[in-house]
């Protein structure tokens, strides 16, 4: 194990992409492994509650914040749809892991990161997430292969189901964030998969209306609609790949249609209830009251309504 002075000096030099990814399942990563933490570094971009941690066998990501339940549930939905996402779980109190993480981070924190890491550790719960090393979509120079294009179509459906507006514009009025799609090991991986369930009836109805409009337009005009035109503009202005030809766009649409059908098949009301119950039970190893408050933000009736809209066109 490296000494505290050594690891603190190496914090600035630590580049997660230079190391392999560590598995995050509880059989391979528990309290004992955190004792061997070599160096940790707060993310310089994106969420302020993200820490990259280097253990003996590789890198993992720690996330904090009040949307952990929504992110874990979103990752579970993605897995049911065949969309590649980083694996994610809750860091547990009842097996000593949460305490070991806090101790290890404080031991290795550099002077520059000590305050920010301490603030993160003060939050009630921590998520442990798989580190994915890859190239953001925004930085790709060439259009990816057919299978990857279809996977991008799958990510579009995922975002519709999650009401995730922080990736591609599609049915949302935004520029999109191409950094939230990575090309890694021959596949496209979706990052930051929070499910967003509006509390107001008006906002829920507005999203459902957009879903219906998207599906109806696709059924009658395929990719010749404003939603798909927004994807073309996003591709050509927000990435380095240049023109998105019609054949590639149609391949993305093929992946969209396949993933929509898979979502309709796998994400039944019973499945959503089962997943929500599983999410609630994570409180047994967490700061339970705070966790259950987060879980209540995952409204499976809203998600079910989105899926029912998709089923009208893709079942």
CA distance 113 to 63: 15
| CATH architecture for segment(s) 4-130 | 2-Layer Sandwich (3.30)
Per residue in 130-162, pLDDT (tens digit) is 999 999 999 999 999 999 999 999 999 999 999
**Same topology for domains 4-130 and 135-314, yes or no?**
no
Q: Would you state the pLDDT for residue 1? A: 42
Sequence spans of domains, the chain: 4-130, 135-314
Report the C-alpha gap between 270 and 150 in whole angstroms: 28
**Predicted local distance difference test score (pLDDT) of residue 5:** 42
Read off the pLDDT of residues 46-93 as tens digits, 9 standing for 90 and up. 555 899 999 999 999 999 888 999 999 999 999 999 999 999 999 888
Contact indicator for 62, 119 with CB cutoff of 8 Å: no
Phi, psi of 94 (to 5 degrees): -75, -10
pLDDT computed for residue 120 by the predictor:
82
Outline where the chain has alpha helix (H). Answer: 4-10, 31-34, 68-80, 97-108, 114-121, 146-162, 201-221, 226-238, 246-266, 269-281, 288-295, 300-314
- The whole-model pTM stands at 0.93
* Residue-level pLDDT at 110: 72
Q: What residues of the chain score a pLDDT lower than 50?
A: 1-8
Residue-level pLDDT at 66? 87
Q: What is the pLDDT of residue 177?
A: 87
Task: Report the CATH architecture of 135-314.
Answer: Orthogonal Bundle (1.10)
């Amino acid at each position: 194990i490296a000494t505290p002075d050594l690891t603190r000096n190496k914090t600035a030099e630590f580049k997660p992409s230079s190391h392999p990814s560590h598995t995050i399942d509880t059989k391979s990563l528990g309290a004992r492994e955190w004792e061997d933490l070599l160096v940790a570094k707060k993310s310089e971009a994106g969420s302020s509650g993200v820490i990259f941690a280097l253990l003996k066998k590789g890198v993992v990501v720690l996330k904090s914040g009040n949307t952990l339940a929504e992110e874990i549930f979103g990752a579970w939905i993605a897995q049911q749809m065949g969309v590649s996402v980083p694996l994610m779980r809750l860091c547990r109190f009842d097996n000593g892991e949460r305490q070991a993480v806090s101790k290890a981070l404080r031991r290795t924190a550099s002077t520059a990161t000590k305050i920010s890491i301490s603030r993160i550790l003060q939050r009630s719960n921590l998520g442990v997430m798989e580190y994915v090393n890859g190239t953001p979509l925004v930085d790709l120079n060439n259009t990816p292969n057919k299978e990857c294009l279809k996977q991008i179509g799958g990510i579009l459906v995922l975002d519709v189901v999650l009401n995730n507006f922080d990736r591609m514009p599609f049915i949302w009025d935004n520029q999109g964030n191409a950094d939230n799609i990575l090309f890694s090991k021959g596949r496209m991986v979706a990052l930051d998969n929070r499910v967003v369930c509006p509390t107001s009836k008006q906002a829920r109805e507005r999203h459902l209306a957009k879903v219906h409009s998207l599906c109806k337009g696709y059924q009658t005009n395929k990719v010749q609609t404003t939603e798909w035109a927004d994807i073309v503009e996003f591709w050509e202005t927000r990435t380095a790949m240049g023109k998105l030809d019609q054949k590639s766009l149609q391949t993305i649409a093929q992946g969209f249609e396949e993933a929509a059908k898979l979502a309709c098949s796998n994400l039944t009301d019973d499945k959503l209830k089962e997943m929500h119950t599983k999410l609630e039970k994570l409180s047994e190893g967490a700061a339970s009251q705070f966790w259950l408050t987060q879980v209540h933000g995952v409204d499976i009736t809203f998600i079910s309504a989105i899926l029912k809209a998709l089923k009208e066109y893709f079942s």
